[in-house]
Structure 1
Amino acid sequence: MILKKKPEEIWREYEKGIDYKTGLNLYDIVERNNNFFMDRQWEGINAPSLDKPVFNILKPVVNYYTAMLISDDIAINTEMADAAGASDTMELKSGNKRKVFQMEDVLPKVIASEVERVMEQTNARTLNRRMLRNCAVDGDACFYLWYDAREDGIRIDLLDNTNVYFGNPACAEVERQPYIILAYRMNTQEVREEAEGNGLPVEGILPDGETIYFNPGKEEERSCTTVLLKLWKEQGAVRYIKCTGKALVKQETDAGYERYPLAWMSWERVKNSYHGTSPLTGKIANQIFINKVYALSMRFVMLNAYPKVIYNEEKLPEGWNNDVGAAVKVLGDPNSAIFGGYQPPNMSGDAMRMVQSTMQQTKDLMGASDAALGNVKPDNTSAIIAVQRAAGVPLDLQRMDFHSFVEDYVRVILDMMRVHYGVRRICVRMNAGEKYAGDFDFSRLGESEFSLKIDIGAGTYWSQQMQVQMLDNLMKNKILSDPAVYLEMVPDEFVKDKHKILDSINGRRETGEQTTGRQKAARDARQGGSRPAPRGKRGQNV
């Protein structure tokens, strides 16, 4: 495949991607879904005399999805998949004490510590929540990871699915793409400064009339330029180029990564397309029906809830006066019928019953039933667990996709560490909870013997609490009798300075063993001294 690297050619590939998304009606679907999620559900409706109520049943469902998927904190477990590097050792230091550890014991802790640090610096957990919200509303979500040389750190950008263009739109797998284009809307002056910093001419960088990503009525958008970042692979290494429609912003560069620095998730996969489907798209018609019935019902109540007065115009030439205590001028006998009341027929209850049924059925079909939302009263602990499990079942597929998404960007983080970190000082807690420090060459992460297996799963406080409870039960039932083993298995967060307690236990154990050994030696010596001497023939001593 011949890769196109000129700005004009990349721009044509970008326009081809726009045509594909337009054919899917993606831009309109994303805009409409976001409007309905954000309570803007009467956009474009010209009905000035009609109240426009919003009874949003879609937002609570999306919030429920996000809360359920993100309720368990992410725990990252790594292990060496290859036994070839397991025999390597690494020397670490704790205070004045030096100790040699097996690489298979140190490496997973180094990776877990560094990945946790990156996730804290990039606020990845907050981005995970925003990503899941985007995925549920738009149908897809994307993380783009990049290395900030000025801050010497890894950064994460959350991209909309309308800004990501796959080279093969029929395939949803990131690593199988011939190329990927990312579109950014940036201030023209900033783009010129970046190009100038890279030693490139800036005359061709001008504001454009792109109207896909912004409101063209805004004055500030008129000084913006669409910037394209194209990524592809050559001989297994990721390369990239940055440009506008007519000028380069950054020349072709070898990133050195083995993986595309992207993670992609679709809410519900669609065959032969990298774009998924949002759970809101098919339910917007239900939401419109609910709002319409409520609006018409409110209009009916406003017009007909109060009785109407019917009066004889011939006897009340000055009309009807509703003022309290005011005299009414009447022609003729005031005792004859002058006015009467009229009560219009009541509104049929079928309308509101249909609305309630539609709301309930829609939430049930979206997996947000009363049981899922917790609107039930369990009678015992087993019932609580049963309700919790039942609530999570409809989202099991999305939960697995989310864990796969996290695993993908964790692998990208490791790939970036391999390229950019070099030799760095690391500090890890070993099994006893004691901190050890040393220098680690992160470029070794690319060696074949250090191929890693990464597992993503729940890492909540409750799972740690269950581990402690299990250890307590083992000790109580005398299945586990060694206190040192118990402390080693307890999570570090539960016991402060755990290594000091372990050192004390091991010290007393060594002292006890030494005392027992001396006592045994003394006892053997006493038994040897009192033993009768062997005798020879005829009673003679030997």
Structure 2
Amino acid sequence: MQKSISPQYIWRHYKTGVEFKNSIGLYDTVDKNERFFAGDQWAGVNAPDLPKPVINFIKRACQQRVAEVNSNPVAVEFDEIEFPNDVALPEPMSQPMSGTDRETLNALFDADWNRLKMDAVNLDGLLNAAVTGDYILYNYWDPAAETGQVASGRIGVQLLDNVNVYPGNPNERDVQAQPDFIIARRELVEDVKRQAAAAGCSKEEISLITPDDDTELMGGDIGKRELRSDEDAKCLTLLYLFKADNGHVMAQKTTRNAVVRPLWDTRLTRYPLAVMNWEVRKNCFFGRAEVTGLIPVQRYINQMYAMTMLFTMQSACPKAVFNQSMVKAWSNAVGTAIPVNGDIEQALKYLDPPQLPNDVYKLPEQLMDTTLRLLGVTDIELGNINPTNTSAIVMAKEASSMPVQSIKKRFYSMIEDFARNWLDMVIAYFTVPRWMKIKGKDGERNVIFDASTLRNKLWSVKIDVGAANAWSEINSVDTLNKLFEAGAIDAKQYIERLPDGYLPMREKLLAELIAAENKTAGGISNGK
């Protein structure tokens, strides 16, 4: 076993990563992007008399792009890589996994996918990527999690901000090719001290764990603000990960001056991180966010609307010009009489305000529409057209999805990496067989899952991508309509195949149709 690494070494390594991120402006970019997405788009502008409207098309564009990337349901399937029968295999690999065992493994993944609410996690992660540039998913093992069985422990997931992840080689995009990682977190001091005590650290070492104010590198403006009470004091912790000579991932947790958990062997063979760049930057671990390129357009639109609002405020009520020798004092008070010496026509006049050019209204809207169109966000996605021509809408939908195809591919690749990390944890930490309930063609049944059968085998991970739900339903209904009109199917077959939600009380209508058919068939039989 290797000796523990000094906290000072890990801290210096961490500061090197900070310098790189500062050199590419990552911290400032993330903070600015988060502000613009949240609607805080006039921060730092010193113009007290200027209206500050926020026409937040950035949020709408990003949410729509994220929905498009995540529109297709994703399923993961594990399978053992089979070898030709005439090739001699080592003894541990001589027995291929049974179909039942593969079914159990896939059922366990599906159960964890639902337990971890991965559909919601993916939405949050994709939105994080659109705003900050990266979706980083971290797998961890919770050994104390109750399962209702003798075996305890479950796999958990956590979204990480890219500003808190420090790869050893930031010019390498491949996660598993990294020499090491540092994951920075802000944690309660009391929790960190308990972790250190549980890990067997000395009282002297634990006394070095103290509160700090190292919040300036946390993501977003709110992340830099914390509760100031002694009970809620926090400190910065660093989780250092690297691969040993035997291929296992080693880990050590420290603060700036103290060891929280000495070096330990995680028994994992993969870094438990899955990373997706929203847009790829050449020779860079970190990606480019969608918001980054939209900010100049957003600023221009806000400024144009602000100037337009200021103009209307200043010119809504025309200015009165009066002859001071004829009018001693002017008043705007309602019902007040104004004394005039001489001809009233010569005493007072209202100035006509200049007219606002029509292009002032058109240009921001045209710029917004052009930007959204280039992003593939069309009227179909925005819900601005009625689906009267199904085929045309489906074709337009497919065309509008082309700009996000590369983003989708990176998302699916990240899900595959997540699945491989999950399998790595199952093999490492499921040391005791446990009961599982799986659903099959014959209904639910209880089976025993023994992860030891997975070891010393090669596994393939397949990502199945389904059709986007809304548009596949439109296609299905359109096809059913054509088949019914052509007489290829009857009313009962048509209703049975309608997607859920299209026909209220569908089951009752089907029962009535079946009853009518039976009655008709019975009448004919009696007639014979």
Instruction: Give the match's secondary structure for 1:40.
Output: coil
- Partner amino acid for 1:67? A
Aligned match of 1:426:
436
Measured in 2, the distance between the counterparts of 1:237 and 1:249 equals: 21
Aligned match of 2:199:
198
- Partner amino acid for 1:248? V
Distance of aligned partners of 1:330 and 1:477 in 2 relative to their CA distance in 1, 3 Å threshold: closer
Aligned match of 2:325:
314
Instruction: Give the match's secondary structure for 1:285.
Output: helix
Match of 1:113 among 107, 113, 118: 107
Measured in 2, the distance between the counterparts of 1:144 and 1:452 equals: 21
Measured in 2, the distance between the counterparts of 1:3 and 1:44 equals: 49
Distance of aligned partners of 1:377 and 1:387 in 2 relative to their CA distance in 1, 3 Å threshold: farther
- Partner amino acid for 1:298? M
Aligned match of 1:360:
369
- 5 Å matches for 1:40-55? 40-55=40-55
**Structure of larger gyration radius:** 1
Q: Cα offset for 1:78?
A: 2.7
- Partner amino acid for 1:261? P
Measured in 1, the distance between the counterparts of 2:476 and 2:102 equals: 20
Measured in 1, the distance between the counterparts of 2:132 and 2:442 equals: 44
Aligned match of 1:339:
348
Give yes or no for contact 2:170–2:285 (8 Å, CA) kept in 1.
yes
Aligned match of 1:81:
81
Give yes or no for contact 2:394–2:475 (8 Å, CA) kept in 1.
no
Measured in 2, the distance between the counterparts of 1:196 and 1:406 equals: 36
Q: Cα offset for 1:106?
A: 1.6
Gaps of 5+ in 2: 86-95, 146-152, 490-528
Distance of aligned partners of 1:110 and 1:417 in 2 relative to their CA distance in 1, 3 Å threshold: same
Measured in 2, the distance between the counterparts of 1:406 and 1:122 equals: 14
Q: Could you report, residue by residue, the CA deviation over 1:479-516 in whole angstroms, capped at 9, with x for unpaired residues?
A: xxxxxxxxxxxxxxxxxxxxxxxxxxxxxxxxxxxxxx
Measured in 2, the distance between the counterparts of 1:199 and 1:80 equals: 40
Match of 1:381 among 373, 387, 390: 390
Aligned match of 2:257:
246
Distance of aligned partners of 1:177 and 1:314 in 2 relative to their CA distance in 1, 3 Å threshold: same
Gaps of 5+ in 1: 86-101, 479-542
Q: Could you report, residue by residue, the CA deviation over 1:269-296 in whole angstroms, capped at 9, with x for unpaired residues?
A: 1111101111221221111111111111
- Partner amino acid for 2:292? T
Instruction: Give the match's secondary structure for 1:256.
Output: coil
Instruction: Give the match's secondary structure for 1:168.
Output: coil
Tell me whether 1:265 sits opposite 2:276 in the alignment: yes
Instruction: Give the match's secondary structure for 1:320.
Output: coil
Measured in 1, the distance between the counterparts of 2:243 and 2:416 equals: 21
Measured in 2, the distance between the counterparts of 1:84 and 1:45 equals: 69
Tell me whether 1:402 sits opposite 2:411 in the alignment: yes
- Partner amino acid for 1:47? A
Measured in 2, the distance between the counterparts of 1:420 and 1:139 equals: 32
Q: Cα offset for 1:325?
A: 3.0
Measured in 2, the distance between the counterparts of 1:348 and 1:203 equals: 69
Tell me whether 1:274 sits opposite 2:285 in the alignment: yes
Aligned match of 2:30:
30
Question: Normalising by structure 1, what TM-score?
Answer: 0.78
Aligned match of 1:446:
455
Q: Cα offset for 1:20?
A: 0.4
Q: Could you report, residue by residue, the CA deviation over 1:240-259 in whole angstroms, capped at 9, with x for unpaired residues?
A: 11011111101111111111
- 5 Å matches for 1:110-509? 110-151=104-145, 152-200=153-201, 201-210=205-214, 211-213=216-218, 214-215=223-224, 219-220=228-229, 223-234=233-244, 235-317=246-328, 319-331=329-341, 333-334=342-343, 337-422=346-431, 423-430=433-440, 432-448=441-457, 451-458=459-466
Distance of aligned partners of 1:320 and 1:407 in 2 relative to their CA distance in 1, 3 Å threshold: same
Question: Which range is displaced more, 393-402 or 222-231?
Answer: 222-231
Distance of aligned partners of 1:346 and 1:3 in 2 relative to their CA distance in 1, 3 Å threshold: farther
Measured in 2, the distance between the counterparts of 1:3 and 1:42 equals: 51
Q: Cα offset for 1:140?
A: 0.8
Measured in 2, the distance between the counterparts of 1:404 and 1:272 equals: 18
Q: How many residues align?
A: 453
Distance of aligned partners of 1:388 and 1:220 in 2 relative to their CA distance in 1, 3 Å threshold: farther
Aligned match of 1:11:
11
Give yes or no for contact 2:380–2:393 (8 Å, CA) kept in 1.
no
Q: Cα offset for 1:129?
A: 0.6
Question: Which range is displaced more, 452-461 or 404-413?
Answer: 452-461
Q: Cα offset for 1:11?
A: 0.6
Distance of aligned partners of 1:464 and 1:379 in 2 relative to their CA distance in 1, 3 Å threshold: closer
Measured in 1, the distance between the counterparts of 2:424 and 2:236 equals: 29
Distance of aligned partners of 1:84 and 1:149 in 2 relative to their CA distance in 1, 3 Å threshold: farther
Measured in 1, the distance between the counterparts of 2:118 and 2:373 equals: 31
Q: Could you report, residue by residue, the CA deviation over 1:68-122 in whole angstroms, capped at 9, with x for unpaired residues?
A: 122222212233322479xxxxxxxxxxxxxxxx944223321221112112222
Distance of aligned partners of 1:459 and 1:6 in 2 relative to their CA distance in 1, 3 Å threshold: farther
Give yes or no for contact 2:53–2:305 (8 Å, CA) kept in 1.
yes
Aligned match of 1:519:
none
Give yes or no for contact 2:54–2:302 (8 Å, CA) kept in 1.
yes
Measured in 1, the distance between the counterparts of 2:80 and 2:175 equals: 24
Question: Normalising by structure 2, what TM-score?
Answer: 0.80
How well do the aligned residues superpose, as a CA RMSD in angstroms? 2.8
Give yes or no for contact 2:420–2:461 (8 Å, CA) kept in 1.
no
Measured in 1, the distance between the counterparts of 2:463 and 2:138 equals: 21
Question: Which range is displaced more, 249-258 or 112-121?
Answer: 112-121
Distance of aligned partners of 1:325 and 1:250 in 2 relative to their CA distance in 1, 3 Å threshold: same
Measured in 2, the distance between the counterparts of 1:120 and 1:143 equals: 16
Q: Cα offset for 1:366?
A: 2.3
Q: Percent same amino acid among aligned pairs?
A: 31
Measured in 2, the distance between the counterparts of 1:250 and 1:394 equals: 46
Measured in 2, the distance between the counterparts of 1:48 and 1:424 equals: 65
Q: Could you report, residue by residue, the CA deviation over 1:297-317 in whole angstroms, capped at 9, with x for unpaired residues?
A: 111111113322111111221
- Partner amino acid for 1:160? D
Q: Could you report, residue by residue, the CA deviation over 1:26-75 in whole angstroms, capped at 9, with x for unpaired residues?
A: 00000000100000000011111111011111100110012112222221
Question: Which range is displaced more, 369-378 or 382-391?
Answer: 369-378
Measured in 1, the distance between the counterparts of 2:455 and 2:17 equals: 34
Measured in 2, the distance between the counterparts of 1:437 and 1:365 equals: 52
Distance of aligned partners of 1:242 and 1:336 in 2 relative to their CA distance in 1, 3 Å threshold: closer
Measured in 2, the distance between the counterparts of 1:392 and 1:406 equals: 20
Q: Cα offset for 1:464?
A: 10
Measured in 1, the distance between the counterparts of 2:103 and 2:467 equals: 16
Question: Which range is displaced more, 319-328 or 215-224?
Answer: 215-224
Give yes or no for contact 1:311–1:340 (8 Å, CA) kept in 2.
yes
Give yes or no for contact 2:248–2:269 (8 Å, CA) kept in 1.
yes
Measured in 1, the distance between the counterparts of 2:443 and 2:299 equals: 60
Measured in 1, the distance between the counterparts of 2:436 and 2:224 equals: 48
- Partner amino acid for 2:161? D
